[in-house]
Amino acid sequence: MAGAPTAALPAREAARARQMSDTQFALVIILGVSLLNAAIIFVPLVYSAWLSLHESNVILRTMEFVGAKHYWTAITDPKVLAAAWRSVVFSAIAVVLSFALSLGFALVLNEDFPGKGLLRALVLLPWAISQVVTATVFSFMLNPNVGALNALLAPMGIVGPSHVWLSQDMALIWVSVAFVWHLAPLGTFFYLASLQTIPEDLYNAARIDRAGPVRRFAHITLPHLRHTTLIVLVVMTVEAVRQFDLVFSLTRGGPGTASQILPMLVFRYNFEFSQYGLAAATSFILTAMSVALAVGYFLLLRKKKAKKETANG
């Protein structure tokens, strides 16, 4: 038996001998988790990298090594460049609007008014529901024939009857707005959590010093939210860059390619044209965009943290 060599020791000593040190225990857990992550995340990624270096023929079921050819094709492909640019525009609109709305909503929800509890619960709803539903809800509103916007605006003469909202020029913008509806609650959630950690005493002290609401906001609230703002902006950017479900449901990237952002294009390369190699290569370009953002942020935080520590020490 495993316990035999220690049987001579008193029971308590034996128990302690079996116990691991903190570091050992942490390493055992981490090893298990990392093995799982390696199996489900990194092995597929390596496989995808292998795919991106090969030309696949679905019908003949052959794979031919082509080196970096797909990467070169992708970065010189006008379709990829156009889709990447659309991704930038889409993300910019989505992040700026969601940021402004979520901060405003959080400030409102941090106040006291009747029905606050209900509204706080409801505000998360657009984030919690399926983006297929979000897409359809927006398509109901934007529908030229049975949509809410035309039904409300056309009688007032603001738009003509059967105005097409998801047009060639405007589709990308409307898709972004629909995405803002989905995304803003997440920022509200972060801001609200942060606002609740500001000590009320600070405001009371400022009141005694006769600081008005604007000055209190500028000198207490805003500085306190700086860190959260960085977090919110990055989470929103990452979500916008990777966005697929809503755009796919609402416009399929159309009309034409008007709202075909990068993940949509990768999807088409892979599932419509079965160009696994090119799709994998393009997906790594998308990944690089996403990782660069996150790493930049990580370094920024590190630097800030280091500064704080030197200031304290």
Partner 1 sequence: MAEAHRKIAGEGWRPWAVGAGALFLAFWTLFPFYWTLKASFMAEIDVLDSLVGMPPSLTLDNYLRVLGLSVSDSIFGGQTRAVMEGFVNSAIVALPSAAFAALIASFAGYAFGRFEFPGKNALLFTLLVSRVLPPITMLIPYFVFFSAVGMVGSLFGLGITYLTAVVPLLSWMLMGYFASLPIEVERAARIDGCSRLQVLFYVTFPMAAPGIAAAFIIAFLVSWNDLLFGIVLTGGTNAQTLSPALLGLSPLMPGFRTELVLFAAASILSTVPPLLLALVFQRFITGLNISDPVTTGGD
Per the structure block, which two tokens stand in for 86?
Answer: 């659309």
Selected binder of partner 1 within 131, 176, 221, 260 (CB under 8 A) = 131
Whole-number minimum distance, CB 166 to partner 1, in Å? 10
Cβ closest to partner 1, residue 72 vs residue 136: 136
Whole-number minimum distance, CB 37 to partner 1, in Å? 7
Number of residues lying near partner 1 (CB under 8 A): 110
Whole-angstrom distance, CA of residue 220 vs CA of residue 203: 8
Stretch binding partner 1 (CB under 8 A), from 1-9, 64-72, 100-108, 218-226: 100-108
Whole-number minimum distance, CB 72 to partner 1, in Å? 19
Selected binder of partner 1 within 1, 23, 157, 256 (CB under 8 A) = 23
Which residue carries 């609740």 as its tokens?
A: 196
How many CB atoms neighbour CB 168 within 10 A? 13
Whole-number minimum distance, CB 13 to partner 1, in Å? 13
Whole-number minimum distance, CB 208 to partner 1, in Å? 9
SS3 184: helix
What are 62's strand-pairing partners? 57
Per the structure block, which two tokens stand in for 208?
Answer: 């005694």
Whole-angstrom distance, CA of residue 88 vs CA of residue 106: 26
SS3 56: strand
Per the structure block, which two tokens stand in for 277?
Answer: 């190699």
Whole-number minimum distance, CB 202 to partner 1, in Å? 14
Residue 34 within binding range of partner 1, rule CB under 8 A:
yes
Binding mask 236-275 for partner 1 (x = CB under 8 A): --x--xx-xx--xxx-x----------x--xx--xx----
Whole-angstrom distance, CA of residue 186 vs CA of residue 148: 26
Whole-angstrom distance, CA of residue 282 vs CA of residue 276: 10
Positions 190 through 209 that interact with partner 1 (CB under 8 A): 190, 193, 196-197, 207
Residue 121 within binding range of partner 1, rule CB under 8 A:
yes
Whole-angstrom distance, CA of residue 178 vs CA of residue 88: 16
Selected binder of partner 1 within 9, 17, 20, 158 (CB under 8 A) = 20
Whole-number minimum distance, CB 75 to partner 1, in Å? 17
Whole-angstrom distance, CA of residue 128 vs CA of residue 134: 10
Residues 6+ apart with CB under 8 A from 94: 176, 179, 180, 183, 236, 240, 243
Positions 53 through 82 that interact with partner 1 (CB under 8 A): none
Cβ closest to partner 1, residue 69 vs residue 242: 242
Residue 5 within binding range of partner 1, rule CB under 8 A:
no
Which residue carries 């965009």 as its tokens?
A: 289
Cβ closest to partner 1, residue 94 vs residue 250: 250
Whole-number minimum distance, CB 135 to partner 1, in Å? 7
Per the structure block, which two tokens stand in for 14?
Answer: 């034996």
Stretch binding partner 1 (CB under 8 A), from 72-80, 91-99, 113-121, 167-175: 113-121
Per the structure block, which two tokens stand in for 8?
Answer: 């001579």
Residue 284 within binding range of partner 1, rule CB under 8 A:
yes
Positions 294 through 313 that interact with partner 1 (CB under 8 A): 294-295, 297-298, 301-302, 304-305
Residue 111 within binding range of partner 1, rule CB under 8 A:
yes
User: In which element (H, E) is residue 54 found?
Assistant: strand 54-57
Whole-angstrom distance, CA of residue 103 vs CA of residue 192: 8
